[in-house]
Amino acid sequence: MNGNYPAERASLRADGRFWLVTLVTVAAVAGTAALGRWQLARAAQKQALQAQMDARAAEPPVGARELAAAAADSAGASGLVHRRVELQGQWLPEHTVFLDNRQMHGRPGFYVLTPLRLQGAAGAPVVLVQRGWAPRDWQERTRLPEVPTPHAQVRLQGRVAAEPGRLYELGPDRAPEAGGRIRQNLQIAAFAAQTGLPLLPLTVLQTGAASEGLERAWPAVDNGVDKHYGYAFQWFGLCALVSILYVWFQIVRRVRRRQP
């Protein structure tokens, strides 16, 4: 029997572990590097989107006629988002709704939405305007804030937006009144069917100084570019760590052990 057999078996096992660790390391390095590159690609996409938003915001304001014409189809409506608008029309205060659990400056309250019948556009279409934010009365939660709403023609400035962001609902039986003035969420199509108003498939965020008891410090749109860069840094850091550990334990230490 060969007296070197145990040593040969130990050498084979060591070689097997070496190649197994190498294979796992290559897979880990390739995977983490790919994820890092994917996060960089996502950041580039978000930057392009932000540039598009900034370009739209820099364009001349849209009037009622152009707003109604472009919003006639979904593609035109989406192309108007973030455009500035200057509108004239008449409020429909009987259809004002208050979106609950909305924050501004870290304080909870309501977003106040009122339909505006546009002047200067064929068919007198109606657009839902997010007029601003108002605090709620914590002693009487069902008490609505007083929001003066003139019946005369009004002029306002703003920017085009999609539907208000949706919040989590516990269910129809536990959420704020689905058809009342206080609501958790609002969908334009459902609201149009409920009220019978010819609503455009978009909303307008009213801008400007606080007025009518409403604040308008709308949060800036954050596309999360920094978040993607942070994730990319983490993935590339993990990739580098795996590589360094492999070089140290599988190459440097093996070479040192073999040195006399």
Mark whether 23 and 95 lie in a shared domain: no
**pTM (2 d.p.):** 0.74
86 in Cβ contact with 170 (< 8 Å): no
Mark whether 43 and 101 lie in a shared domain: no
Interval 230-249: pLDDT, tens: 999 999 999 999 999 999 88
Mark whether 134 and 170 lie in a shared domain: yes
What Å distances lie between residue 149 and 32, 73, 203, 232, CA to CA?
56, 30, 18, 49
Domain count, the chain: 2
Domain that holds residue 178: 83-206
Mark whether 100 and 37 lie in a shared domain: no
158 in Cβ contact with 205 (< 8 Å): yes
195 belongs to a structural domain: yes
128 belongs to a structural domain: yes
67 in Cβ contact with 80 (< 8 Å): yes
Mark whether 186 and 157 lie in a shared domain: yes
Residue 158 predicted with pLDDT over 90: yes
153 belongs to a structural domain: yes
55 belongs to a structural domain: no
Strand partners, 102: 109
Mark whether 127 and 182 lie in a shared domain: yes
217 belongs to a structural domain: no
Mark whether 194 and 230 lie in a shared domain: no
Interval 73-125: pLDDT, tens: 666 677 888 899 999 999 999 999 999 999 888 888 999 999 999 987 667 89
Mark whether 233 and 178 lie in a shared domain: no
110 belongs to a structural domain: yes
Mark whether 94 and 172 lie in a shared domain: yes
Of residues 216 and 258, which shows the higher confidence score?
216
The pLDDT, as a whole number, for residue 244 is 93
